[in-house]
């Protein structure tokens, strides 16, 4: 119910869990819609990664940046969803902060510590929201450095906020012997488990991002045969093994080959120039001798 009560000075009476559920559903639903639209409308464009000027590698699905920040109309849909999502989250951050101030209001030493952590959690929460808005409205194609800054800030603030909230609700309530209901205990358990799951997925995402960009792989395989170097068989080998070069090693090898070719070309040019100068000198000498013989005959 939304209304105003003169007796209790209540202007809005809303269900807080429902607000949180809607806020969580907005970006999740928006991301799923953007991914589906990318798969249906521009699958090849949204799953291709440029390794160099001529080679492309593909992903299994469009990345979040591709799905939400580079293609239309997906990027406009995502920005609209994030705008709706971010506004009530500031109220949620303040609501949690107010709750923690009430819980840790007895003035004891642990309460003072966790009140400070509550302030830190509120700041991290707001920073996470602002960073999410920034990386959503500034795509990597428009300003890569700014987008990267917002993305790193979002990851750090979100992870830190989750960890601080787990510490406040799991350790803080025990420190002041605050009684939790069964629902609150379940909420704490879920928060801790989700934090662990978040760290696992974050580590996996960083690993696969590194492999995809460092090794330039097509779905886990190198994208062409030039990225392979065959070992020569030895006495202990009954077969040939292949070693995959990293993309940086490929670039270094190509750069080295280019330098060698440039040196060879310079040496060839120098020899050609010397030969031309020698021929020119011989021609000059022959011309002088011919002129001298002509003058002597006259």
DSSP 213-241: HHS-EETTEESSGGGEEEPPP-TT-SS--
54-62: average pLDDT: 68
Most confident of 169-183, 229-243, 278-292: 169-183
158-166: average pLDDT: 94
Distance between CA atoms of 111 and 118, rounded to whole angstroms?
10
Distance between CA atoms of 143 and 125, rounded to whole angstroms?
24
Task: Give the mean pLDDT of the chain.
Answer: 77
pLDDT category of residue 105 using cuts at 50, 70 and 90: confident
87-93: average pLDDT: 89
pLDDT category of residue 182 using cuts at 50, 70 and 90: confident
Judge whether residue 230 has pLDDT over 70.
Answer: no
pLDDT tens digit sequence for 59-68: 777 878 778 8
Element (H, E) at 252: helix 247-297
Distance between CA atoms of 113 and 121, rounded to whole angstroms?
12
Q: Would you say the pTM of this structure is higher than 0.85?
A: no
Measure CA 237 to chain center: 41
């Amino acid at each position: 119910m939304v209304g105003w009560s003169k007796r209790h000075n209540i202007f809005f009476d809303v269900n807080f869990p429902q607000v949180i559920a809607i806020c969580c559903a907005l970006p999740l639903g928006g991301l799923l819609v953007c991914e589906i639209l990318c798969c249906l409308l521009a699958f090849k464009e949204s799953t291709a990664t440029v390794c160099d000027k001529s080679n492309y590698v593909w992903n299994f699905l469009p990345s979040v940046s591709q799905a939400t920040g580079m293609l239309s109309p997906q990027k406009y849909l995502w920005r609209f969803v994030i705008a709706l999502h971010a506004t009530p989250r500031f109220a949620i951050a303040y609501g949690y902060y107010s709750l923690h101030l009430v819980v840790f209001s007895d003035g004891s030493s642990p309460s003072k510590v966790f009140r400070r952590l509550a302030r830190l959690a509120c700041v991290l929460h707001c920073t996470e929201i602002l960073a999410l808005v920034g990386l959503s409205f500034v795509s990597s194609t428009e300003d890569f450095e700014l987008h990267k800054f917002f993305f790193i800030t979002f990851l750090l603030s979100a992870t830190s906020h989750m960890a601080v909230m787990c510490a406040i609700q799991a350790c803080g309530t025990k420190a002041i012997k605050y009684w939790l209901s069964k629902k609150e205990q379940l909420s704490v358990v879920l928060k801790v488990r989700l934090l662990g799951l978040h760290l696992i997925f974050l580590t996996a995402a960083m690993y696969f991002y590194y492999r995809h960009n460092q090794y330039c792989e097509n779905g886990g395989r190198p994208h062409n045969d030039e990225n392979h170097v065959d070992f020569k068989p030895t006495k202990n080998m009954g077969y040939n093994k292949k070693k995959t070069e990293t993309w940086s090693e490929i670039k270094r090898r190509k750069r080295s080959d280019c330098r060698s070719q440039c040196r060879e070309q310079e040496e060839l040019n120098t020899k050609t120039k010397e030969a031309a100068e020698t021929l020119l000198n011989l021609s000059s000498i022959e011309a002088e001798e011919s002129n001298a013989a002509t003058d002597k005959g006259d």
